[in-house]
A and B are shown apart, each in its own frame.
Chain A
Amino acid sequence: QVQLQESGPRLVKPSGTLSLTCDVSGGSISNNNWWNWVRQPPGKGLEWVGDIFHTGSTHYNPSLKSRVTISLDKSKNQFSVRLTSLTAADTALYFCARGSEAGALDVWGRGTLLIVS
């Protein structure tokens, strides 16, 4: 059973850069899945950040595209998100999730809270 676990700093200063990692266990990141990042500001709805395939192909939310990069490390079976030029608006719970063949996000991590302050 695939499990995902996010890790990274909880507090970052404004104008700084966020780097989060998602460890994939119980399955290979090289399977035919898209690996996603989704975030949720406190008390608000879900916002899709972007995804990556094991070939390195990516898609990004247009509203974040200029600031976000998603990458993966097959040797460590993990994928990462990097978000630059942080502001308070980037404060959110960040989830990593697996995309199924249909694109639906069928496995989620528990999420990690990032505070920009």
Chain B
Amino acid sequence: SYEVTQALSVSVALGQTARITCGGNNIGTKNVHWYQQKPGQAPVLVIYRDSFRPSGIPDRISGSNSGNTATLTISRAQVADEADYYCQVWDTSFWVFGGGTNLAVL
């Protein structure tokens, strides 16, 4: 089955840019969705189809996907961005989630 890998944790200084990656074989040929999950809450879709933002998601959050890596970029990071982030990819007949990355804003 298709495997996607995410770093366990990423840290970023307040106001700087955080990049969270999702690695997979030729993931650039697939649609990648990204979710933000804060403690005790359901996940929230923040990016779909690699780079599209649902309504209500700030343009500080963006996505890209090429080659073997999909990237979620959070610019001007805020304390409110601290959360777990998950990527999601379709593998032939089922969805696969990455293991999740915890973002800490220092």
Contact = CB atoms under 8 A, between A and B. Distances in A.
Interface of A: 36, 38, 45-48, 50-51, 59-62, 95, 100, 102-106, 108-111
Among B54, B95, B96, find the residue whose CB has the most chain A CB atoms closer than 10 A. Answer: B95
12 contacts: A46-B86, A47-B97, A48-B94, A48-B95, A61-B94, A102-B31, A102-B48, A102-B52, A103-B31, A103-B33, A108-B44, A109-B42
A108 B42 contact: yes
Interface of B: 1, 31, 33, 35, 37, 42-45, 48-49, 52, 54, 84, 86, 88, 90, 93-100
Contact of B49 (A48, A60, A102): A102
Say whether chain B's binding surface is mostly helix, strand, loop, or mixed.
strand
Contacts of B86: 45-46
Contact of B95 (A103, A106, A109): A103
B99 A45 contact: yes
B33 A105 contact: yes
Contact of A59 (B33, B35, B94, B97): B94
A105 to B, nearest CB: 6
A62 B94 contact: yes
Contacts of A62: 1, 94
Nearest to A63: B1
B49 A104 contact: yes
A106 B42 contact: no
A100 B96 contact: no
Given A45-B86, A45-B99, A46-B86, A105 B94 contact: no
B97 A102 contact: no
A102 B33 contact: yes
A6 B90 CA distance: 24
Contacts of B99: 45
A106 B43 contact: no
Nearest to B97: A46
B1 A95 contact: no
Nearest to B32: A104
